[in-house]
Each structure stands twice: as C-alpha cells, then as structure tokens.
C-alpha cells in the first residue's frame, strides 16, 4: 500500500492584500512570487530531512523564467512546499529534483500562451494506479502498530489542487512503481509576465529582526515567505535552547514563539527570557498556538507573552502584530 506520513499546514485566509491596501501599504509577498528565492528557501527547509533519508535535493532553473512573477506568492508557495514535502518524505537513498521552466503553447486567440511550470521529481517507490485515482480525495485511513502509522494518509494534495485551481492553474501527476513520481504545477501567465524587465515590488517598512521559534519547519517557511521582504532579517529556532543561543549572539526585536515544543517549550523559554538580566529580557514575544487557552491574553500576560497568534496563521493578524510592535512603523505613522 502506498504510504506518505507527511504533516501539512491548513492555511486560512492566505491572501492579506485587502488588509494591506486598507492601510495604504503594499507587500510583494501577495502580489509577486520570487521564483528562485522561494524555491531555494524551500530547498533549505527540506535539506536536513532529505539528508536523513540519504537523499539529495537538486534545483534546475530555466533562464527564460524571470526572478519575479505577478502571482499570489503565498498560495503558490504553499502548493510547491506540499509537493516538496511529500517527495522528500517518500524518497529513501535517492534524488528529489525541482525544475522551474517556461512552457509556450499555441493559443487560438492570443497566438501563444505562456505557462509557469514547476515540477517536483523524486526517485521514490512510485504510486500504484489504484492509489493514483484517490490522490486528491481527503482521507485519513490509518492504523498504528508499535508506534508506526501505516496506511494512506492525507498528504495535503487535496488542498494543493484546490489552491492551484483557484489561481487558474492545474496539477499534473506522472508515476511509475519502482521508478518514482513527478508532480507538476502549471500556471497560465500573461505573456508580459515573462518580459525581462525589473518589477517594482515595494520596500521594507518594518525595521526589525524577527526570530521564529517552532519545531515544525513548515511554519518557518510560511513566515519567511510572508515576511522576507518586510523585515531586516528572520532567524529560526526549533526549540527554546536554540532560541536562547540566538538571543545571546544576535539582536532580536520580535519573537514568534510556539507554545508546544520538545526539549524546551514556549512557556519555559519565555520565563527564562523574562527572568534574564540581559538586554533582551524585554523583547516582544508573540505566542503561536492552536491551543485556545493560550489565545486568551490574560493567560499570556501571566507568563510574559505580549500577544497571541492563532494557528493556522491569518496573514492580516501577522501584519497587525508587526504594526503593533515595529518601532519604525510607529514613528512613521505617528510622527
């Protein structure tokens, strides 16, 4: 039986464009997709997991595809990351290759229609014809034996298909048992999107260094994609000890802190920060959690947390937090 055991995000309200426009602000993350930067960021997120599986990740870029394209970055990044996650987790002693290319096809009305094509190839076990028919059906038919989960689990592909369809594109699948699989995202674009010209994408307006502390690396990727063009630098940590090491060596203005983590959780980490005699003891800390108890501010305040961000992330809520705690933004809007 085909098996993938990958956990996926369940994003809500992926686009914050209307929220930003209502405040007279613009960010490239919603209007533009940074092709090479985003693909390489995805690669860096999954390199360690691939190494554990004795698998390499390669990226190939078509020079005819520009670095910036006017498509919804958050939705497309989410689709791409789901495909990469499945490929890495299902491939042992092999190769995962991400190919970014341009596809031009004749069109009866426009003459030529251009497409962005990103394919994720793996040398994994492949998918049977029976399982192929149910790839995009939401399901959770699993059994646990000796601590190991077997069966067909939700790989995030139903959501991926839904998001790419919303964008006017589609997902293609090709697989052969024993040889691997290829999942491709195909998105039609206006021909002007492929003109080799610079695109104005706004500028950084939050003069901050941000630390994301979470044991789930997909959340690192999500916040990086969202904030990479809006803050000075983004640091990541998988647990409290790593967060404290970063605070000792780097200036941090805002911490997004997961509550439930192994080794040292968000509560213990927050208490250690607040009890420290270091300059960073007063750093702004925002709890990231799906636990409704810690989404209530009276509980957060008791342990030294300044604000709470509910999971799954809502982009408008993330930007609202930045506005609340970014000194440069406050000076610009109140001066």
Q: What is the CATH number of the domain that holds 74?
A: 3.30.565.10
For residues 182 and 222, membership in a common domain is answered with no
SS3 112: strand
Contact criterion met (CB below 8 Å) for 284 and 308: no
> Virtual CA dihedral for 124, 165, 218, 320, nearest 10 degrees?
170
Average pLDDT of 264-284? 90
Q: Are residues 146 and 182 in the same domain?
A: yes
Q: Is residue 242 part of a domain?
A: yes
Within this chain, do residues 179 and 53 fall inside the same structural domain, yes or no? yes
CATH number at residue 304: 3.40.50.2300
pLDDT band at 54 (very low <50, low <70, confident <90, very high): very high
Percent residues over pLDDT 70 in the chain: 74
For 22, the token pair is: 């209502």
- Domain-located, residue 204: no
Task: Give domain status of residue 3, yes or no.
Answer: no
The DSSP letter of residue 134 is T
Short-list 317, 297, 292, 266, CA closest to 19 = 317
Percent of the chain with pLDDT over 90: 25
- pLDDT for position 155: 57
Same domain, 144 and 243: no
Q: Is residue 283 domain-shared with residue 188, that is, in the same domain?
A: no
- Please determine, for residue 116, whether its predicted confidence score (pLDDT) is greater than 70: yes
The span from the CA of 176 to the CA of 215, in Å, is 34
Q: Which of 174, 163, 175 is nearest to 72 (CA)?
A: 163
Q: Is residue 217 assigned to a domain? A: yes
Distance from C-alpha of 200 to C-alpha of 203, rounded to nearest angstrom: 9
For residues 196 and 162, give the distance between their C-alpha atoms in angstroms, rounded to a whole number: 30
Residues β-bridged to residue 104: 114
User: Would 7 be classed as within a structural domain?
Assistant: no
Do 171 and 310 reside in the same domain of the chain?
no
Which two three-digit tokens encode residue 27? 């960010």
Answer with the one of 166, 194, 222 that is the final residue of a domain: 194
- Residue 296 has a pLDDT of 58
Q: Which residues pair with 307 in a beta bridge?
A: 286
Q: Are 181 and 77 contained in the same domain?
A: yes
Q: Rounded to whole angstroms, how far apart are CA atoms 170 and 150?
A: 29
186 and 219: one domain?
Answer: no
Q: Phi and psi at residue 266, in whole multiples of 5°?
A: -65, -30
pLDDT band at 125 (very low <50, low <70, confident <90, very high): very high
What token pair was written down for 247? 């605070």
Q: Does residue 282 share a domain with residue 152?
A: no
Establish if 218 belongs to a structural domain. yes
The verdict on 260 and 229 lying in the same domain is: yes
Report if residue 240 sits inside a domain.
yes
Domain boundary (165, 194, 223) is at 194
Q: What range defines the domain where residue 32 resides?
A: 17-194
Same domain as 248, residue 146:
no
Each residue's pLDDT tens digit, 161-206: 888 998 889 999 999 999 999 999 999 887 655 654 443 333 444 6
CA 223 to chain centre: 7
In whole angstroms, give the CA distance from residue 23 to residue 168. 28
The pLDDT-based confidence of 329 (bands split at 50, 70, 90) is very low
Average pLDDT score over the chain:
76
Distance CA 80, CA 98 (A): 10
Domain membership flag for residue 201: no
Is residue 48 helix, strand or coil? helix
Both 142 and 39 in one domain: the answer is yes
Structural domain total, the chain: 2
Report the distance separating Cα 6 and Cα 193, nearest Å: 34
Q: Of 194, 220, 255, which residue is a domain's last?
A: 194
Query: Mean pLDDT, to the nearest integer, of 238-244?
Result: 92
Q: Are 307 and 270 in contact (CB under 8 A)?
A: no
Section 128-132 average pLDDT: 86
């Amino acid at each position: 039986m085909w098996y993938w055991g990958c956990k996926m995000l369940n994003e809500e309200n992926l686009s914050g464009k209307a929220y930003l426009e209502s405040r007279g602000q613009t960010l490239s993350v919603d209007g533009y997709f940074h092709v090479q930067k985003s693909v390489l960021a995805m690669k860096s997120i999954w390199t360690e997991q691939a190494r554990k599986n004795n698998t390499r990740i390669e990226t190939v870029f078509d020079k005819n595809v520009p670095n910036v394209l006017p498509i919804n970055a958050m939705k497309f990044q989410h689709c791409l990351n789901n495909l990469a996650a499945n490929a890495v987790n299902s491939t042992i002693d092999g190769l995962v290759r991400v190919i970014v290319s341009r596809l031009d096809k004749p069109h009866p009305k426009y003459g030529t229609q251009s497409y962005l094509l990103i394919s994720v190839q793996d040398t994994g076990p492949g998918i049977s014809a029976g399982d192929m028919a149910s790839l995009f059906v939401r399901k959770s038919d699993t059994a646990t034996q000796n601590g190991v989960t077997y069966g067909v689990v939700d790989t995030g592909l139903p959501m991926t298909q839904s998001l790419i369809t919303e964008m006017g594109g589609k997902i293609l699948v090709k697989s052969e048992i024993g040889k691997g699989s290829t999942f491709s995202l195909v998105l039609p674009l206006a021909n002007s999107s492929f003109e080799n010209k610079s695109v104005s994408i706004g500028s950084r307006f939050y003069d901050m260094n941000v630390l994301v502390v979470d044991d789930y690396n997909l959340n690192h990727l999500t916040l990086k994609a969202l904030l990479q063009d809006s803050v000075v630098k983004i640091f990541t940590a998988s647990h409290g000890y790593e967060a404290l090491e970063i605070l000792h060596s780097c200036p941090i203005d805002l911490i997004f802190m997961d509550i439930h983590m192994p080794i040292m959780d968000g509560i213990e980490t927050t208490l250690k920060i607040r009890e420290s005699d270091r300059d960073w003891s007063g750093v702004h800390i925002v709890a990231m959690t799906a636990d409704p108890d810690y989404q209530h501010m009276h509980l957060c305040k008791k342990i030294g947390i300044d604000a709470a961000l509910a999971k799954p992330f809502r982009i408008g809520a993330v930007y609202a937090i930045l506005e609340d705690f970014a000194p440069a933004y406050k000076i610009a809007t109140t001066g």
